[in-house]
Amino acid sequence: MLQISLMTERHRLAKLLRVSSKNRLIDQGKQVHAALVRIGYGSDVILNNDLIDLYGKCGRMDMACDVFDKMPETNVVSWTALMCGHLQQGNPKSSLLLFCRMGYTDVKPNEFTFSTNFKACGVLKIPENGMQIHGICVRTGFEWFPAVANSVMDMYSRCGRISEAEQMFNLMPIRSLISWNAMITGYALVGMGEKCLLLFQKMQRQGEILDDFTFTSTLKACSCLGAIEEGTQIHAYLITRGFAFSVQAIVSGALVDLYVKSGYLFEARKVFDQIEQKSVISWSSLILGYAQQGNLKAAMDLFRQLRESNIWVDGFVLSSMIGVFSDFALVEQGKQMHCYTAKFPSGMEKSVANSIVDMYLKCGLIEEAERVFNEMPERNVVSWTVMITGYGKHGLGREAIRLFNEMQVEDVEPDGVTYLALLSACSHSGLIEESREYFSILCGDYRIKPQVEHYACMVDLLGRAGCLKEAKELIHNMPLKPNIGIWQTLLSACRVHGEFEMGRKVGDMLLELDGKNAVNYVMLSNIYADAGYWRESEKVRVSVKLKGLKKEGGCSWVEIDKEVHFFYNGDERHPLTKEIHKILKEIEKRIKEETGYPYEVRFALHDVEEESKAESLRYHSEKLAIGLALVHSGVEEGGRTIRVFKNLRVCGDCHEFIKGLSKVLKKVFVVRDANRMSRQLLYRYGMIVMLILFSPVLLAKKSYHDYFGVSLDRERRDRVGNMKEGTEFLELCGFERVGGGKFLFLPRDKVDMEVLKSAGTALNSAITNPFFGLLSK
DNA sequence: CTAGGGTTAG
């Protein structure tokens, strides 16, 4: 009788345990645990296995291990449950170690054990271990269990071994929807978009079932490929098939991301607005999309809405938002955001800290960046790379090298981007020998394949140093196809060093390679002009006109009291033109007296596409914009930072002018300019901190749209044409035309100060300013 | 005891 009631009690508790585990009810689980021990089932294997599962799911690995260690005997389920726990708690290494330990016991792995550990290898990206386990799996006859085969495939594709994954897929005796999806996902993961789309087609043709996993992976592939047509077809297909994508947060999320990445913000927004239960992921996709287009206002509006909704702000959103402020060099907003992150547990994430460090570096506050960097409890490759990049841009090449060594002492492996940062740091500090050395280390590192960007960096550096022959040879001998940019770099180096012959050859070649780009003509023409071949120079210029190619006209703008004033080169339309000219003349005289300007430094910035000398006889637009700012503020020393934007690169002459100006007036100037690469130049008391913002992105991880060159909402693009002019750009930034040479910033939204005040951190004092004050000082 | 999908920072 007693026996029976104990049995039923055991049965009841076992059920309760399963329920607790499923619903992650740790406290209830603990009570059941205690009850089981009380009635004498403390060493029941099955119950203990369930306890391991429970504690693992609830994130209490310490307790799961405790149960495991105290078990008088274990079976394969106990081991596997513990491995799963480790894996789910983000500790795949422990799972693998446990797998090794199990090899020394009599307990044999089963299909669950294998698939769990393949997953672990996939997460860790260690194909070597995965292959070893695959071998064991073959020998023990578990290879073609469906779940095992799928997880082997998944492991290979996550480790980038796509051909092994393909082999598994082809050999598989039973292919389920999961197998198809795993293969499609694999292609999408390694960026093989075409293959992914082909497989998707094949699935359809063979009449396989498609599910939401299939669609999201395929959409991701479309997004990698920029295949907007195919993506739109899938979108249409989803609608016509009555797929309830409005509630399918994940599929729609992928759709939003596809449109964002392809630059169709208008479509992205439409899909986004239809999602009933928006996840934080879709929010961050869209916010980032606006930000990368330079639409600061839209990005901030969306962020405000996100805060007002009840969605938990995660690290992705925070780091994206901080990124927005660093891109616009809005130091104050960036600082406020820094404080704001303290409100969230996700603010502790590495990515957030990394973007904060990056933000301070881009705003020129190097000490602040160092402080945050040093206080980080944990650093990853990105953290170190950010710092190395920052030191590089501030001309502290030695510091960059020091960090590069230090990170390796701390067992953080540099990757391709780290090397790029290091090379560029050496380059900007004139450390030629060191660059050569690190470049050869990079080439010898079997883990990293040097990319075009690495070669471009070396060409740039050798070009600066005047080693043009070496640079040219490097291009000829590189195993990758040189791109236009590399040749342009070499060409401008030829100009700097007066290498007429080589320059002419490279220039001619560029015209053949990229004859549609007016910039190449201008560069060649300048080469001729420098060498005194005026007629040839003129001929090249004329041919640009004959071919109907147009170089974008220079345009700069400056914000004064929430109005934006813009100027073209030599623009005299502004009502204060007289005053501007007067003040520029005075100040030029002062700079000349106090600093010796102009130095012969036309090419200090090593511009690829600077405006030609002939055009610069009149005042360049950036000088006019600065002139206006000075008319407005007076020429007293110190005071507010002056922030000027320009659609093209600042020329060497204006650069020296601003540098001198910053010294004479003890003022900070920030010039945001753009072209092939958008930059931000920070002038501080005669020093220049050069900052490249949207530098070429390695490994084509994501497509940064050129800051100025792209208008993206289809609707807007139709309206403004292929937006190239600064004025349309301003409209896209959220400015409203008010006539004359003026733009007005659209009215701000009210700031929710209460939310900010409730931050309840010691940093509160820093958030007393309106959070959404734009372009503040 | 098991498996797959969308977002971030350099």
What is the total residue count of chain A?
A: 777
Parallel, antiparallel or unpaired: strands A642-646 and A668-673: parallel
pLDDT for A410 equals 94
Q: How far apart are CA A6 and CA A737, in angstroms?
A: 82
Is strand B less than 7 A from the beta carbon of A662? no
pLDDT for A684 equals 67
Q: Report residue A569 as tokens.
A: 């080169």
Nearest residue: Cα versus C1' of B2 = A112
- pLDDT at residue A750 greater than cutoff 60: no
Task: Name the phi and psi angles at A218, rounded to 5.
Answer: -65, -40
More confident residue, A589 or A776: A589
pLDDT for A475 equals 94
Q: How far is the CA of A90 from the C1' of B6 (A)?
A: 20
Q: How far apart are CA A163 and CA A143, in angstroms?
A: 17
- pLDDT at residue A707 greater than cutoff 80: no
pLDDT for A201 equals 86
Q: How far apart are CA A357 and CA A337, in angstroms?
A: 12
pLDDT for A542 equals 87
Amino acid identity for residue A211 in this structure: D
Which nucleotides in chain B lie closer than 7 A to a protein CB?
1-10
Closest of A123, A149, A128, A153 to residue A138, by C-alpha = A149
Q: What is the mean pLDDT of chain A?
A: 79
- pLDDT at residue A485 greater than cutoff 90: no
Q: Report residue A369 as tokens.
A: 């960046």
pLDDT for A128 equals 86
Q: How far is the CA of A553 from the C1' of B3 (A)?
A: 57
pLDDT tens, A717-730?
333 333 333 444 44
* Chain A 182-221 residues in 7 Å CB range of strand B: 182, 185, 188-189, 211-213, 215-217, 220
- pLDDT at residue A528 greater than cutoff 80: yes
Which whole number is the average pLDDT over A63-72?
93
Taking the CA atoms of A289, A293, A298 and A299 in sequence, report the sign of the dihedral they define: positive
CB neighbour burial string for A548-584, b if at least 16 within 10 angstroms, e if fewer: ebebbebbbbbbeeeebbbbbbebeebebbeebbebb
Is strand B less than 7 A from the beta carbon of A626? no
Q: How far is the CA of A533 from the C1' of B9 (A)?
A: 49
Helices A228-240 + A212-225 axis angle, to 10 = 160
Is strand B less than 7 A from the beta carbon of A223? yes
pLDDT for A372 equals 95
Which whole number is the average pLDDT over A298-311?
86
pLDDT tens, A51-65?
999 999 888 889 999
pLDDT for A478 equals 92
Is strand B less than 7 A from the beta carbon of A179? no
Q: How confident is the model at residue A330 (pLDDT cuts 50, 70, 90)?
A: confident
pLDDT tens, A179-217?
999 999 998 888 888 888 889 888 888 888 888 888 888
Is strand B less than 7 A from the beta carbon of A756? no
pLDDT for A758 equals 26
Is strand B less than 7 A from the beta carbon of A150? yes
pLDDT for A551 equals 67
Q: How confident is the model at residue A662 (pLDDT cuts 50, 70, 90)?
A: confident
Which whole number is the average pLDDT over A559-576?
78
Q: pTM of the predicted model, to two decimals?
A: 0.74
* Chain A 706-745 residues in 7 Å CB range of strand B: none
Q: How far apart are CA A91 and CA A85, in angstroms?
A: 8
More confident residue, A241 or A111: A111
Q: How far is the CA of A386 from the C1' of B9 (A)?
A: 9
Q: How confident is the model at residue A689 (pLDDT cuts 50, 70, 90)?
A: low
pLDDT for A570 equals 82
Q: How confident is the model at residue A701 (pLDDT cuts 50, 70, 90)?
A: very low
